Amino acid sequence: MAVEKILMPQLGESVTEGTIEKWLVEVGDTVNKYDPIAEVNTDKVNAEVPSSYSGVIKELVAGEGDTIEVGELVCYIDVEGGASEEKQQEESTDQQAVENVSEDKKEQPQDEDQPMKRRYSPAVLRLAQENDIDLEQVNGSGKGGRITRKDIQKVIDSGEIPAPKQEEKAPEPEPKQERKEAPKVPAPKPAPEASKGSDVPVSEGDIEIPVTGVRRAIANNMLRSKHEAPHAWTMVEVDVTNLVEYRNGIKDDFKKKEGYSLTFFAFFVKAVVEALKEFPQMNSMWAGDKIVQKKDINISIAVGTDESLFVPVIKNADEKSIKGIAREVKELAQKAKTGKLKGEEMQGGTFTVNNTGSFGSVQSMGIINYPQAAILQVESIVKRPVVMNNGMIAVRDMVNLCLSLDHRVLDGMICGKFLARVKENLETISKENTSVY
């Protein structure tokens, strides 16, 4: 038997660390390659970490609740036919040396001993800003003295938030050649009152529910979206009488033939995808000094469980029929509800379509799924009296489509044209000119 290392994998673009939410194995358990060994939470996704080898778990280096940087050790595994005993001893010695260096750096907070101290991940910056923590006064336990989210959480849990240092003003402007030092993090903005749970009184009989990793990630992402993206909203109402008649007429035969239901939502997603092809500006993201217009059309959809909200992605939705979209929505929803969604199935979304109508909602203003530029809420289909073009009043099946947009990326004119196209796509659906295959 040889000892191999399992490292924290890269679980998404720009993800630098992950928190071990739950170990799925114990020391002595036998696992196969690609078997899930731990549930990990990051800022972007809650996912399972697969084993890199087949073998027996030897040691769990990270504990539940520990935040580990990408590429760092999480556990050891005994593998048949691997490295020699000498190599194992060398690796063990190297690992001990790394741990000793890390411990030494905790005791020596000088900047020259911590070259990575001022390299902060987005999660660290956000958590520090929300809790008014001066990062210059936090000692990092990560590689090269880097401050991890675990370090910030430790400061928060201690209740001893270090006050910003008072710097003396220099009598003269600093020479240009002296300004090579890495810039300090700007003074954090006051955290919104909603994020300061310590101010909430707890009375007898109240139930305190611990915040799970998934719920914290959702909260952080929504807070970031709301604070960074200037939201604007617009809405159109759509007459989907023909769509309702068409779908209701074929749904029974479709289910018998395909084995799953043909939902209204699949028609709405298809109508949105066709409109995105005509108005690709809607399929964009804000990137600071530029706007990135995405080539692929990947539709994020919200799937709720009793405990969490997941946002899986229909990849290359423009290449799928209504039937294909309906099948993928069903499969992704089933995986979310059974805890089998993979990290890659929740990455890469470029535009979100949310089926709020499934809860009976008729009007809502969604928070944009950062860093996307827009989210469309599909509300409940309801029967309403409508004045027709001939002046007569008729009962029609109507639905509201509510669009939230990032005003840095999108303007009202392009969003109005986009919604008008979605409306037209839906109102022209019929048995004669629409195929689900």
Q: What is the pLDDT of residues 373-393, one digit of tens each?
A: 999 999 999 999 999 989 999
Residue 210 pLDDT level (bands cut at 50, 70, 90): confident
CA 321 distance to own-chain centroid: 26
Decide if 231 is catalytic. Answer: no
Q: If you search the block for the tokens 């617009």, which residue do you land on?
A: 234
Classify residue 390 as exposed, middle or buried by CB count within 10 Å of its CB (0-12, 13-18, 19+): exposed
Residue among 176, 121, 116 at smallest CA distance from 146: 116
Distance CA 271, CA 248 (A): 18
Strand locations in 142-289, DSSP E?
Answer: 231-239, 284-286
**Stated pTM of the model:** 0.61
- Write out the two tokens for 349: 């979304």
- Write out the two tokens for 238: 């759509």
Q: Coil, strand, or helix at residue 148?
A: coil
Residue 116 pLDDT level (bands cut at 50, 70, 90): low
Mean pLDDT along residues 153-161: 76
Binning the chain into helix, strand and coil, the percentages to the nearest 5 are 35, 20, 40
pLDDT by residue (tens digit) across 334-378?
A: 998 887 888 889 889 999 999 999 989 999 999 999 899 999 999
pLDDT by residue (tens digit) across 228-260?
A: 999 999 999 999 999 999 999 999 999 999 999
How many residues belong to the chain?
437
- Active-site position among 94, 104, 296, 407: 407
Amino acid at 236: V
Distance CA 302, CA 307 (A): 14
Distance CA 19, CA 1 (A): 29
Amino acid at 355: N
- Write out the two tokens for 186: 């700007």
Decide if 407 is catalytic. Answer: yes
Helices 322-338 and 241-258 cross at an angle (nearest 10°) of 70
Mark 360-381 as b/e (b = at least 16 C-beta within 10 Å).
ebbebebebbbbbbbbbbbbbb
Residue, of 190 and 228, whose pLDDT is higher: 228
Distance CA 330, CA 324 (A): 10
Residue, of 289 and 409, whose pLDDT is higher: 409
pLDDT by residue (tens digit) across 57-108?
A: 999 998 888 888 888 999 999 997 654 444 444 445 445 544 544 454 444 4
Q: Coil, strand, or helix at residue 149?
A: helix
Distances (CA, A) of 92 to 2, 54, 63, 98, 217: 12, 20, 19, 10, 34
Q: What's residue 122's pLDDT?
A: 59
Domains and CATH numbers, the chain: 2-82 (2.40.50.100), 107-163 (4.10.320.10), 230-427 (3.30.559.10)
User: Apex CA 240: angle with CA 234 and CA 246, to 5°?
Assistant: 150
36, pLDDT greater than 60: yes
